[in-house]
């Protein structure tokens, strides 16, 4: 094995890590869109409820049910968001490890006389 292959391996790991980061950013973009859609849906539901005519001084008989529905929708949105964040965290950590390992391999490939005896230095 020659020292140049360390540089090639480092570049490959860097590329892999960067592609994982791109995937994570892509997922983050769609996750933000999903969060906005859920918030807009909740606001639409609340607006539709306020259109119901009530007589002056009359209480809404469905008020507690509507509050429970709102809380349930918010809990569901938070659960989906937490699951997406966990997947994104794992992808980000793996990408970070690959990028750091690729950087170190590139340094080892470029450093004069860096390596173990079974790795022949660059000419």
Provide the domain limits for residue 93.
3-50+63-110
- Structural domains in the chain (count): 1
**Which range in 1-10, 44-53, 76-85, 98-107 is most confidently predicted, on average pLDDT?**
98-107
CA distances from 121 to 15, 55, 62, 102, 104 (A): 24, 88, 78, 18, 16
| Residue 73 covered by a domain | yes
| Residue 44 covered by a domain | yes
| Residue 120 covered by a domain | no
Lowest mean pLDDT among 40-44, 48-52, 93-97, 116-120: 116-120
Please report which confidence band the pLDDT of residue 108 belongs to, taking 50, 70 and 90 as the band edges: confident
Of residues 65 and 122, more confidently modeled:
65
Structure tokens at 112: 């004069």
| Residue 115 covered by a domain | no
In this structure, are residues 91 and 20 in contact, taking their beta carbons and an 8 Å threshold? Answer: yes
Whether residue 100 is predicted with pLDDT greater than 90 in this model: the reply is yes
d(CA 27, CA 19): 12
d(CA 63, CA 100): 55
| Residue 122 covered by a domain | no
| Residue 38 covered by a domain | yes
d(CA 69, CA 18): 42
Structure tokens at 21: 């980061």
Helix axes 3-50, 63-110, angle to 10 degrees: 170
| Residue 56 covered by a domain | no
CA distances from 79 to 31, 46, 51, 75 (A): 12, 21, 30, 6
| Residue 117 covered by a domain | no
């Amino acid at each position: 094995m020659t020292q140049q292959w360390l540089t090639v391996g480092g570049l490959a790991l860097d590329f892999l890590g960067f592609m994982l980061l791109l995937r994570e950013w892509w997922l983050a973009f769609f996750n933000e869109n999903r969060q906005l859609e859920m918030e807009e849906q909740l606001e639409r539901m609340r607006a539709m409820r306020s259109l119901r005519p009530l007589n002056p001084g009359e209480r809404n008989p469905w008020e507690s049910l509507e509050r429970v529905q709102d809380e349930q929708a918010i809990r569901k949105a938070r659960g989906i968001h937490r699951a997406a964040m966990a997947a994104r965290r794992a992808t980000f950590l793996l990408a970070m490890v690959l990028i750091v390992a690729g950087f170190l391999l590139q340094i080892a490939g470029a450093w004069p006389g860096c390596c173990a005896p079974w790795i022949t230095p660059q000419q």
